[in-house]
Structure 1
Amino acid sequence: MEQTFNDYFILLSALLLIIGVLTTKFSSRIGVPALILFILVGMITGSDGLGFIPFDNPQMTQLIGIFALIIILFEGGLQTKWTTVKPVTKPALSLATLGVILTAVIVAFAAKIILGVTWLEGFLFGAIVGSTDAAAVFAVLKGQNIRERLGATLEAESGSNDPMAMFLTISIIQLMVIDNPSYWLLIGSFFWQMGIGLIIGLLLGKLATLAINRINLDSSGLYPVFALAFALLIYSLTDLIGASGLLAVYVAALVIGNSDLTYRQSIFRFNEGFAWMAQILMFTILGLLVFPSQLMTIDVIVKGLLLSIILVLVARPVAVFLSTINMGYDFKEKVFLSWAGLRGAVPIVLATFPMLAGIENSQLFFNVVFFVVLISALVQGSTIAMFAEKLGLTGPKKVEPPHSLELVSIGKANAEIIEFEVNKESDITNKPLAVIDFPKDVLVNAIIRSGELITPYGETEIQVGDVLYILVSRKSKKRLKEMLNQD
């Protein structure tokens, strides 16, 4: 009997992963974010659907959700270029802090009236839906040709505002369940969580980079696992001392991803795939936890729609316009930032906190939050690209290179293959290879030009847009990168 259950469980897991992967392709064709389809898979197969997976465990959902968020934030931080994020650090942090508070306050007033709850419960609801979602934003923006500055702002905001929403949610729950709470202690807790989370992220990010580069493992496949282990370690150590583990993970990932890293592409590709798996698992589990018969009631639909309208058309725009005053964004850009404030897994995961704390209206909150997230992902997520185009905020179309070449670090030979795309400012542009003064232990292995592979010879002239794959010893890597004017 037990063996039969195990077989069915493994079979069902395989089917869910296959459906999840195929869903990503299907979602791009119909213009619906994949997370919506993942959630629908969970709802259909759950206890209140076909009944294939009986599930009603908020505590397990919360654990899986936080674990998945660690992986998603880590992967997002690894892929984020500091040169892109640095110019938008100030507005992103303003949106991640002041923006979340303003959104929570405005929604709180609406929740008090629409849901008929107490003021404190209204602020709790506002805090839960106050932040944008990293998983949703990263997934929806990937591959879109939205202006780089706007995309960087949204990604940096979504990667750093989860700690604020979590802090507000937990703090308000404490105010509701503790007889004589200390407001000064909560204020001190905020600065502790954010400040220490930032410091630990920076320090352990540098330590992780040093460890990855210095250690010589027997298998290249162990390096991605080693990097991911640091992400989990950073979260747990930071959270154990009462600081923001999610912030620490995102900051550490920024440090690691923007450092000179051995086995860089292996680490990136592994974490990209693992992050997709985490998204599939998380949104499916969230779908399993909700009961459609409770969600699709007139009461929840009406209240959810009203709160969604206020969140999208009032609270988020007010928060964006006030948080980005004198920060160089014009009216159209602020309108777009307002519309692109996607809600996703984080509000749903946060909605499990009141359930576990035994708050009176926790089930109502969960159902309405879930409905708000569905509306946000379905309406906003499916129209972001169109909205950017209508406002004239699109940049050059992002095209994936048609070639595929795995970049590796050759540990035994103490050498690496690196990639370099030639631009107009490059000193080697329009020069034959024979006259370029490369270091002695450097060899240009291949050139990709307009999607075609070119075998390099001495008389081969380097052109703008060429992608060079260069074999270099580690001791000459720094000199080569200086020569190529790489950051």
Structure 2
Amino acid sequence: MEHINIEHFILLAALLLIIGVLTTKFSTRLGVPALVLFLLVGMIMGSDGLGIIYFNNPELTQLIGIIALVVILFEGGLQTKWSSVKAVAGPSLSLATIGVLITTIVVAVAAKLIFNVSWMEGFLFGAIVGSTDAAAIFAVLKGQNINDRLASTLEAESGTNDPMAMFLTLSLIELMTVDHANVYLLIGSFFWQMGMGLIIGYLLGRFGSFSINKINLDSSGLYPIFTLAFALLTYSVTDLVGASGLLAVYIAALVIGNMDLTYRHSIFRFNEGFAWMMQILMFIILGLLVFPSQFLSFGIIFKGFLLSLILMFLARPVAVFLSTIKMGFHMKEKIFLSWAGLKGAVPIVLATFPMTMGLENSQLFFNVVFFVVLTSALIQGSTISIFADTLGLNGPEKVEPPHSLELVSIGKANAEMIEFAVDEKTAITGQALKNISFPKETLISAMIRNGDLVTPHGDTTIQPGDILYILTAKKRKKELKRLLNKEFI
């Protein structure tokens, strides 16, 4: 990047963040995923656009991309309920492994025929675009009322299939660049990476949640930073032993997010905001790395669009239908899962690996992959909710707490404020407060109904959609959870 003074750099960073945040508002109104607009901002600011920033550093892009993916995967894992993941573990893991492999094979054949590259390069194309993208899936599904089983399957798949795509990409690059690469060692490496990723992720997740609750920090603002440090620690430790750091991060986040945590709301809100910031930064930088004059040529557009169509209408559906055989999905659900295979940051980040390794057709790889991601986000990302509605796969309206209330925390007092969203399946729905056998030392302090604050009294009836704020003693918390039918690890 060209040298610029500190004042200009800070001003530019501020403007990029402001523009990035504002684009999320426009993306909702336009029905276009925010990641597309972030990419466009980067392209417009780059040397082929307004020429404000010249950026052509694949190594730095790769570094920022991986750090951003760690943060995004960690936030996604924190927000995921273990009860939901456990119910779809089989199909999610099948899609994340067998599905990625099948997608890679189908795309490899297509890339070989369309771009006239070698078979190894064709397989490399397939591996790079083989996985669904966690950042794209988490962003697009957030706030949607797609039925829980499908949403959980897609979230768990996107959180666990990045390691498979990265393993295939790096293995193929090794086979292309190392004279005597051992295939059997690569296969053994796969089981080591996935197995140790799961184990280290689980162990550090347990250790992280224990540490967060036991440490007594002077400021509540330090707890989110302490939690994020465990995400980075998990990735680095796992990567140092040659295992899958991304998988370990997602598993650790899943464990931590389903535990009782000191300053839980603060931790979650901080990570949500930080994940958004990293997503904005990552996609804008990826946009800066692209030179539109190179990938907007007729050859790239025509051939890239053809490859995109094969990926959307052939490779992904074949992978979904084959990897979910006898797993309880009916035809409409399989069609939806096929359409929801969004591509995003991961393929673009993976496409920088051939560039840093100096492979012959590395620029072609990057340009085509970028175009594939762009078309996937524009076409699939903007129609997911419409697709779900058309197929009748929307679930009940999701209840999202509009406020966060954390007066006291389990780490600082012998009581805690519980926030609970009521739905139709909740055991206390339809009952008056005076008829509910709440544990001793428990009080309904406040209730939010249709966005309004309601002062609860004995005759108040619990309704679906209510947000309850319940003050309870620590020793009564498990009893209260059983009453509310909440499920935790």
Shift in Å at residue 302 of structure 1?
1.4
Q: After superposition, where does 1:26-425 map in structure 2 within 5 Å?
A: 26-398=26-398, 400-401=400-401, 403-410=402-409, 411-422=411-422
Q: Distance in 2 between matches of 1:217 and 1:116?
A: 60
Q: How does 1:425-440 map to 2 (within 5 A)?
A: 428=428, 433=433, 436-440=436-440
The unaligned stretches of length 5 or more in structure 1 are none
Check whether the contact 2:265–2:404 (CA below 8 A) recurs between aligned residues.
no
CA contact (8 A) 1:47 1:53 kept: yes
Give the 3 Å change call, closer, same or farther, for CA 473–42 of structure 1 in structure 2. same
Distance 1:100 1:125, change over 3 A: same
Contact 2:400 2:421 in 1 (8 A): no
Per the TM alignment, residue 455 of structure 1 is displaced from its structure 2 partner at its CA by 2.1
User: Shift of residue 3 of structure 1?
Assistant: 11
Judging changes above 3 Å, is the alpha-carbon distance between structure 1 residues 136 and 201 closer, same or farther for their aligned structure 2 residues?
A: same
**Partner Cα distance (1:210, 1:454) in 2:** 36
Counterpart amino acid of residue 110 in structure 1: A
Q: Distance in 1 between matches of 2:363 and 2:483?
A: 60
Q: Is the 8 A contact 2:399 2:421 kept in 1?
A: no
SS at 1:417 equivalent:
strand
Per-residue CA distance 1:12-60 (angstroms, 9 max, x = gap): 1101101111100101101111101000000010122111111100000
3-state SS of paired residue (1:416): strand
Q: What is the alpha-carbon distance in structure 2 between the residues aligned to residue 399 and residue 46 of structure 1? A: 41
Q: What is the rounded CA distance, in whole Å, between the counterparts of 1:330 and 1:435 in structure 2?
A: 42
Contact 1:48 1:292 in 2 (8 A): yes
Q: Deviations over 1:82-124 (max 9, x none)?
A: 1112111100100000000000011011111111111111111
Tell me if the contact between 1:430 and 1:461 (Cα under 8 Å) persists in the aligned partners.
no
Closer, same or farther: CA 426–46 of 1 in aligned 2, 3 Å: closer
Deviations 1:227-258 (A, max 9, x none): 11000000000001100000000011111111
Contact 1:235 1:245 in 2 (8 A): yes
Alpha-carbon deviation of 1:419? 1.4
CA displacement, residues 128-169 of structure 1 (integer Å, 9 cap, x when unaligned): 011010001111111112111111111111110000000000
Task: Give the AA of the match of 2:99.
Answer: G
Shift of 1:408: 4.4
Q: What secondary structure, in the 3-state scheme, does the structure 2 residue paired with 1:351 have?
A: helix
**CA distance in structure 2 between the partners assigned to 1:389 and 1:484 by the alignment:** 30
- CA distance in 1 between counterparts of 2:259 and 2:455 reads 30
Deviations along 1:144-198, whole A, 9 cap, x unmatched?
1211111111111111000000000000000011111111100000000000000
8 Å contact kept, 1:265–1:408: no
Report the RMSD for the aligned CA atoms in angstroms. Answer: 1.8
Q: Aligned residue for 1:477?
A: 477
Q: Letter of the aligned partner of 2:484 in structure 1?
A: L
1:464 alignment counterpart: 463
Distance in 2 separating the partners of 1:324 and 1:47: 45
TM-score w.r.t. length of structure 2: 0.95
Question: Are the equivalent residues in 1 in contact too, given 2:433–2:462 (CA < 8 A)?
Answer: no
Count of aligned positions: 484
Change (3 A) 1:206 1:412: closer
Shift of 1:434: 5.2
The answer to whether the 8 Å contact 2:134/2:159 transfers is yes
Shift of 1:311: 0.7
Distance 1:468 1:421 in 2: 6
Between the aligned partners of 2:142 and 2:423, the Cα distance in structure 1 is 23
Tell me whether 32-41 or 439-448 shows the greater mean CA deviation: 439-448
Q: CA deviation at 1:435?
A: 5.9
Distance 1:4 1:342 in 2: 36
Q: Which amino acid aligns with 2:82?
A: W
User: For the residues of structure 2 that align with 1:97 and 1:427, how far apart are their CA atoms?
Assistant: 38
8 Å CA contact 2:23, 2:34 repeated in 1: yes
Q: Is the 8 A contact 1:263 1:408 kept in 2?
A: no
- Larger displacement relative to structure 2 (68-77 or 439-448): 439-448
Q: Distance in 1 between matches of 2:399 and 2:419?
A: 17
The answer as to whether partners of 1:447 and 1:468 remain within 8 angstroms in 2 is: yes
Q: Distance in 1 between matches of 2:33 and 2:416?
A: 37
Distance in 2 between residues matched to 1:103 and 1:3, nearest whole Å: 42
TM-fit CA distance, 1:437: 4.7
Aligned equivalents of 2:91, 2:424: Cα separation in 1: 31
Q: Give the conservation status (yes or no) of the 8 Å contact 1:40–1:287.
A: yes
1:300 partner amino acid: I
Deviations 1:423-479 (A, max 9, x none): 56656556554565544433321122343322234x344423343211223233223
Q: Indicate conservation of the 8 Å contact 2:405/2:417, yes or no.
A: no
Matched letter for residue 102 of structure 2: L
- Aligned CA distance change for structure 1 residues 365 and 475 (closer, same or farther; 3 Å): same
Question: Which stretch has the larger CA shift, 298-307 or 340-349?
Answer: 298-307
Change (3 A) 1:292 1:408: farther
Question: 1:160, 1:247 within 8 Å by CA — same for their partners in 2?
Answer: yes
**In 2, distance between residues paired with 1:429 and 1:376?**
41
C-alpha distance in structure 1 between counterparts of 2:430 and 2:34, whole Å: 44
Q: Are 1:10 and 2:10 matched, yes or no?
A: yes
Are the counterparts in 2 of residues 46 and 55 from structure 1 also a CA contact under 8 Å?
Answer: yes
Take 1:392 and 1:168, find their aligned partners in 2: how far apart are those partners? 36
Q: Which amino acid aligns with 1:123?
A: F
The amino acid of 1:150's aligned partner reads L
SS in structure 1 opposite 2:88? helix
AA matched with 1:84: S
1:56-78, Cα deviation, whole Å (9 max, x unpaired): 00000000000000000001011
Q: Partners of 2:56 and 2:263 in 1: how far apart?
A: 41
Change (3 A) 1:422 1:317: closer
Letter of the 1:97 partner, please give it: T
Moved more, 415-424 or 353-362: 415-424
